Each structure stands twice: as structure tokens, then as C-alpha cells.
Amino acid sequence: MTIKVGDRIPNVSFVKATENGPESVTSDEFFKGRKVALFSVPGAFTPTCSAKHLPGFIDKAEDLKAKGVDEIACTAVNDAFVLGAWSGSNNAADTVTMLADGNAEFVKATGLEMDGSKFGMGTRGQRFSMLVNDGVVEQLHVEAPGEFKVSSAEHLIENM
């Protein structure tokens, strides 16, 4: 079953990409007591993710914070080293927290996984954005396969 607005984020482990290397954090710890704009990409360094999705959240960071967002986070079914390198290559470290979901625990627990096998990618997360307030989903925008419309930073802001 897919997570929906009003649901609590399931408690799973992420690996946060930091300047000091990978750090484990549970979703309960990460989302507790604050408002987080979370977006998911099928993979770091993939075309739409690198050209549009991540840059959009970097560009709109101040607008999101003006709307009360405490943190912007990106998750992908990649390891923390890949997400750290992707963050570095996009100068995102000061703007977007990278949450590695290397074993797809988060996307499976939320029902937002996809099968990327035909692209040689295995299980991945769908492209989506959500607004999470103290662990509860306030907004959820899941893209149709192959599209990039409703998961953008602009769309999230328009709906706040």
C-alpha cells in the first residue's frame, strides 16, 4: 500500500552523506519536530535528476525556507558515497541533505518503489516529492513514469 497524505513516515534507516562520511540516521530522528521537503530521484547522475530535479530544489531553497521548510532532503536508492559525489558535483551540500536508501527500505516501506530492471537499475524509488511535518506527510506528489512535472520544487511551493 502506498503512503498517503496524513500518514506517518515509516521508521527505517537512511545513511546520510556528510562531509565526515556516511552517518546512519533513522527516519524518526530525521523528521522529528521539523518540516522537511523531501524529494526522491530514481538515481544520482541520471539525466532528469541531474539536469532538473536536484537543481530545481537548489534554486528554490530560499523560497521553500520562506514557506517554513526547515530542511530540504533528497533520497535515492544509491549508496551514501554516490549521493555524496553527486551532491559535490552539483554544489548541493549546503542546500540539500542526501539520504541514501541503498537497500530500498524507505521506498518499499512507503510503497513508492519501482522496477528499473529494464534499464539495468533494479529496484529504485519513484520520482516524487513530499512535504513532511514532524514525521507526518502533508503533501505527496508522485510522477507518472517518465514524467517530471508534479515532483518539482516549484510544484511543491505552489501547493504550500
At 20, which CATH number? Answer: 3.40.30.10
Query: Residue 53 gets which letter from DSSP?
Result: I
Q: Is 132 helix (H, G, I), strand (E, B) or coil?
A: strand
Q: Is the pLDDT of residue 1 over 80?
A: no
Asked if residues 144 and 114 have their Cβ atoms less than 8 Å apart, the reply is: no
Asked if residues 44 and 86 have their Cβ atoms less than 8 Å apart, the reply is: yes
Which residue's C-alpha cell is 514525521? Answer: 135
Categorize the per-residue pLDDT at 122 as very low, low, confident or very high, splitting at 50, 70 and 90. confident
pTM of this structure:
0.94
Q: What cell was used for 23?
A: 552517518
| Mean of pLDDT values over 118-143 | 92
In a domain, 77, yes or no: yes
Considering the candidates 36, 49, 72, 140, report the single residue annotated as catalytic: 49
User: In Å, how far are 11, 13, 75 from 53, measured between CA atoms?
Assistant: 25, 23, 12
In a domain, 2, yes or no: no
In a domain, 6, yes or no: no
Domain count, the chain: 1
In a domain, 103, yes or no: yes
Q: What is the pLDDT of residue 120?
A: 75
Q: Is 28 helix (H, G, I), strand (E, B) or coil?
A: helix
* 1 vs 13, residue with greater confidence: 13
Tell me, yes or no, if 74 is annotated catalytic.
no
In a domain, 3, yes or no: no
| Mean of pLDDT values over 61-90 | 96
What domain range includes position 137?
13-158
- Tell me which residue of 80, 83, 77 sits closest to 110, measured CA to CA: 77
| Mean of pLDDT values over 30-37 | 98
Q: What is the pLDDT of residue 123?
A: 86
Q: What percentage of the chain reaches a pLDDT higher than 70?
A: 100
